Structure 1
C-alpha cells in the first residue's frame, strides 16, 4: 500500500521562489482551490509577487464585471520563513536555474518536508543529477512549466532514475487537478523544449549580430512563416536574456557542445543590463505597454 500523501483540492502546497515562474505556479494552484504557501528569501520579490497576483485577479473582474469571482489570491500565504513549508502535501521549487542554489534549497527541503513529493521546475538541469544531492531521490519529479504558466496548458514531465511510481503518480494527480496536460520526457539536459529552443534564440541573436537580418525581421519570419505567436527574440525578452544565457551555460555544463556557447549579441545585452521586459529593454524597448525594436 502506498504511503505517499497525494495532494487534493483544499490541501496546502508549498511554492519556493517568487519569481515569474513561482508567481504563475502559485496562481494556478490557488485558482484550483489549493491553499498556497509561497516562500522566498527576498521580501521585495514577495511584495512584487503579491502585487502581480492581485493584478491578475483584478483583470478577471474587469473582463467580466458582472460575473461571480473567486477570491483566489486570499488562499496564498507569503513569507520569508521557510519553516512555513512544514506540513504541505506537495512542494514546487522554482528558484534560479543554478545547480548550487537548487541543491541548497533541496537539502533544506529534506529537513522541512520529508516524504513529500517534490516538483522541480527546471528547464535544463537533469533531475537525476539534482536528486542525487538529496537524502531521498525517490520523491523528485521534474515538471517544466512554460511561461506564462497560467496561459500554457502543457508541461514537460521528467522522471529521474530513482523516482518512485507513487511519487510520480502523486505529481500527475496534482497536474490534473490544476488543469495541466503533459508530455513525458527523458531525463536529458534541456529536455525537449530548451534543448532546441535555446539554440534557436542563440542562432537568432547571432544572425542579428552579423547583419543577416534585424530583430524585427527575424521575429517576423517565425511569426508569419512558421505561425509562431512570438519570434525567438521576443521570447528571449519575455524569458529574460540573462535567463537564456544562464540556461545556455547550464547546457554547456551538462552537454559540452559548441552550439550552446552564448552568442556575442546575448552576452552584450546581459553585460549592459538590457535583459528584457522586466527591465524595460532587451532586444526591444518597452514603454507604455508597447514594444519596439531597439535602434
Structure 2
C-alpha cells in the first residue's frame, strides 16, 4: 500500500472513530460555548498568538518556496529561527496588553505560556530528538551550532511552532468543555479528540516541512505513518496539560507551578517515547 493510500486509511479511521464518540455527547442548554478564554488576560494572550503566528508561517513558506536557506550558514539559520520565536516573548513584555495593566510580568498568562512552551520545547529538542535519530533514522544535515547533537536554532523554531499548536488545542478543547455536559461521553470524546489532534498535528508538520531537503528520514513512508504517531505522543500529554495554565480564573498558576507542570509533562512524554523504543527493541546512544 502506498503512502497516500495508507494515510487516507488512517485518517478515515481516526475521524470515523471521533465521529462515533461524538454521538455520546450531550449539549448543555445552560452552557455558553467559547473558543477563547473568558479570562481577559488569557484571552488576550491567545489572541496575540493567533495574530502573530501567520507572519512567521508566511515567512517559512517564502524561505522554503524560494530556497533562501541555501544561502545560509549556521548563523543565518540561528538568526531566522530566533526572529520567528522572539516576538512571542518580547512583544508582550515591551508592549503589555491592556488586560495586563497593573499585573506584574511574572503573573501574566502570556509569560506563563511562554515558560511552559520553552521548557517543553527545550526538553523535546534536547532529549526527544534522539528517539527520532534512532527509531526513525532521522537526520538534520544543514549547517548549525549544536547542543547535544541537535541544531540550537531548532530550540527556538520549535517554540514558535508549539505556541501555535497549543493555542489551537486550547481553543478546540475549551469549545468542547463549554458546549457539552461534563459526563463520561464528553470524556470519551475529549480523549478521542486529543488523539486525533495529536496525530494530525504531527503529520501536518511532517508534510509541510517535506520541501526542506536537509531534514531526512531513512524511510519516508514510515516517517509519515508510524513517525506521526511517534511524534504525536508529545501532544497526547501536552495538549490537555497546557490548557490547565490559568484556565480556572479562581486558580492562577505561579511561574513555579507552571514550570513544575511543564517538567512533569515532559517527563511523561520521555517515558512514553522510551516505552515505544523498548517495545521496538531499538538501542539509543547519546553523543559524547
TM-based fold match above 0.5: no
TM-score by length of 1: 0.22
TM-score by length of 2: 0.23
Q: Larger % of strand: which? A: 1
Q: Quick one: higher RCO (CA 8 Å, sep 6+), 1 or 2?
A: 2
